[in-house]
Amino acid sequence: MKKYKKKLITSLLTAVMVCSAGMPCSQAGKIISENSANYFLMQSIQADAAGSRAFNQFHPQWKAYTYTKWAQSGNSLYTSGCMLFSFGNAIHSLTGRVVNITDLASWACNNGSWRPGAGGGYRDLFYNQIEASYGRVYQFTVEGSYYGNVENSRLTEHLLNGGVATIHVPGHFMAIIDYNPVNQTYRVIESAVSSSRGLPASSWVPASKLETGQTKVDWFCLLSKQNFTTGSNSGISGTEDSGNHENIPENTGNLNTGSSGNSVNYFPKYTGSSESFAAALYVIGSDGSYQYREKIAHANGIPGYDGTLEQNKLLFQLLKAGLLVKPDVEPDLSNIYFPKYTGSEETLILALHAIGVDYSYNYRARIAIANDITNYAGTAEQNIRMLELLKAGQLRKP
């Protein structure tokens, strides 16, 4: 993946749409050739990465890209481009593709979903249209956008499955590209580093930081990788793994590594209904943490594991087929379950409270994910199921 990203960054699209200073968006149709100075300038801007960040909104060159359709001042990518840059950073992490920001800016400015100097990004308009126009080019789908905080189970389960998200905080957009359920931290990509938000370009951020002040998340959009057949009009050169790993043989007997005769230790075959690889690991009594999934990936010949949707999908398919190889290091399962509840309370909330556990809706949603209960909505049926597990000493911790 790293090699592929480097190739994309150093070999950008040969056709770059540039909006000259002060030019109305509708007139921004100039094609920049690969031999021009501006092409290499765009290369240096788009490759200005810090950690996992592909785009730095505060690169001084973005000041030159102004759009006068909606306002005559405060209308540059430098001052108003956070919605576009957050999308670009999310896509780069998700698929390795480098978004043509100036082309995206012209498109969004023309359709009214980005109005620099006059309200900035109109997220609903933008994300309702972006997949139809750019999904095939950048190989992604929009799973949906939601109002909610960073501990929303839709968001955390999506991240655990290898998806990414763009998020909204007061007056700004950023990207989240990973989640660590062990310590409840989020990998946040910040395109516009600011002292008011206090986040670097790329960092692991605790949930508490993303629930207060200028970094309080109130909305998120979920993006997943989608492989399309690359056509002649896609604007992308090169090929990519199709993601088709459906023809995995089922483990129907004792397998070994080959001529050496050394037996292979497999995880039990998963037969449940969860769509989360991490949750499925918990269901079979293993460890679904990011750290242990990284070891599993290495044991199954997937180097450089970074929790992408494609990596998790392949590992999940192996688990469903009974062919997922266990790593040499066993997980620590000594603290995987909540203490068995032996009291008389008949509601999940009171039972959790009795054993000193957080009983908030957000935490119960995380418990549900760890116990293979999808789309948690706090229904009586879901809570009764978790209460039964708690009474049996079988309720797994998130």
For residues 81 and 203, state if they share a domain.
yes
Among 177, 206, 225, where does a domain finish? 225
Rounded CA-CA distance 145/127 in Å is 8
Which tens digits make up the pLDDT trace of 19-56?
A: 333 444 433 333 333 333 333 344 444 444 444 788 99
Looking at the DSSP bridge assignments, the partners of residue 17 are: 31
Percent share of the chain, pLDDT over 70: 76
Tell me: do 65 and 9 sit in the same domain: yes
Q: What is the DSSP code string of 202-271? A: EEEEEGGGGGSGGG---EEEEEEE------TTSS--S---------PPP--S--B-STT--B--BPPPP-
Residue ending a domain, among 225, 246, 277, is 225
Q: Tell me: do 111 and 220 sit in the same domain.
A: yes
Residue 82 domain-assigned (yes or no): yes
CA atoms of 398 and 396, how far apart (whole Å): 6
H-helix segments, the chain:
2-10, 37-46, 77-80, 82-95, 101-111, 123-138, 153-160, 277-283, 290-299, 309-321, 348-354, 361-370, 380-391
Do 174 and 216 reside in the same domain of the chain? yes
What pLDDT was estimated at residue 72?
A: 92
Residues 272-309 have pLDDT tens digits of 887 788 878 888 888 877 778 888 988 888 877 877 88
- The CATH code of the domain that includes 167 is 3.90.70.10
Average pLDDT over residues 178-193: 91
Tell me the mean pLDDT in the region 371-389: 86
Q: What is the mean pLDDT of residues 59-71?
A: 91
- Judge whether 397 lies within some domain: no
Stated pTM of the model? 0.52
248 confidence band (pLDDT: 50, 70, 90): very low
Most confident of 186-190, 224-228, 247-251, 252-256: 186-190
Q: Could you tell me the residue range of the domain that residue 213 belongs to?
A: 2-225
- Count of other CB atoms within 10 angstroms of residue 216: 14
HSE on the CB side for 202, CA within 13 Å?
14
The verdict on 148 and 297 lying in the same domain is: no
What confidence tier does 228 reach under pLDDT thresholds 50, 70, 90? low
Rounded CA gap, 144 and 163, in Å? 12
Tokens 């801007």 found at:
45
Query: Are residue 283 and residue 180 in the same domain, yes or no?
Result: no
Tally of domains in the chain: 3
What average pLDDT does this structure show over 221-248? Answer: 46
Token pair of 144 as six digits: 């949906």
Q: Based on the domain organization, do 305 and 369 belong to the same domain?
A: no
pLDDT number for residue 282: 80
Residue 24's pLDDT is what? 44
Within a domain: 168: yes
Say what the pLDDT of residue 328 is.
Answer: 79
The pLDDT of residue 332 is 62
Task: Mark whether 178 and 94 lie in a shared domain.
Answer: yes
Whether 272 is in a domain gets the answer yes
Tell me whether residue 277 is in a domain: yes
Residue 238 lies in a domain: no
The answer to the question of residue 236 being in a domain is no
Instruction: Please state which of the ranges 93-107, 169-183, 316-330, 382-396 shows the lowest mean pLDDT.
Output: 316-330
82 plus 22 within the same structural domain:
yes
Same domain flag for 293 and 159: no
d(CA 112, CA 301): 46
- State whether 56 and 199 are in the same domain: yes
In this structure, is residue 308 part of a structural domain? yes
Predicted confidence (pLDDT) per residue in 306-339, tens digit: 778 888 888 998 899 888 888 877 766 666 788 8
Q: Of 176, 194, 225, which residue constitutes the final position of a domain?
A: 225
Residue 364 has pLDDT above 80, yes or no: yes
Encode pLDDT of 116-133 as tens digits. Answer: 999 899 999 999 999 988
Is residue 170 over pLDDT 60?
A: yes
* Judgement on whether residues 368 and 328 belong to the same structural domain of the protein: no
